[in-house]
């Protein structure tokens, strides 16, 4: 399992976030940060495809190390 942080441009509305289950969300002024632990690269590709299908603009993808994955802000 690998933890990822995916930033998308703008503030993602709650209805859309509800459709993207199992994601921790942090809303910042210009981006929405989504965090998830994924089992393999194929699961990451599927998640990125879902974000693209919903018209979200990708800003950054980061693979988190064990310390970052705890979600402390």
- What is the rounded average pLDDT for all residues in the chain? 88
46, 51, 15: which is closest to 33 by C-alpha?
51
Residue 38 pairs in a beta bridge with: 2
How large is the average pLDDT for residues 3-20?
90
Judge whether residue 70 has pLDDT over 60.
no
What are the domain boundaries of the chain? Answer: 2-64
Asked whether 61 and 2 are in contact (CB, 8 A), the reply is no
Domain 2-64 has CATH 3.30.70.980: yes
User: Is a pLDDT exceeding 90 seen at residue 61?
Assistant: yes
Residues sharing a CB contact under 8 Å with residue 69, sequence separation 6 or more, in sequence order:
3, 35, 37
Over the stretch 39-58, which tens digit does the pLDDT of each residue have? 999 999 999 999 999 899 99
pTM summary value: 0.82
């Amino acid at each position: 399992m690998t933890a990822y942080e995916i930033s998308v441009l703008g503030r993602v509305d709650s209805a859309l976030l509800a459709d993207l289950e199992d994601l921790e969300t942090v809303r910042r002024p210009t981006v929405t940060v989504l965090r998830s632990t994924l089992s393999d690269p194929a699961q990451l590709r599927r998640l990125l495809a879902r974000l693209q299908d919903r018209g979200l603009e990708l800003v950054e993808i980061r693979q988190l190390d064990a310390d970052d994955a705890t979600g402390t802000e």
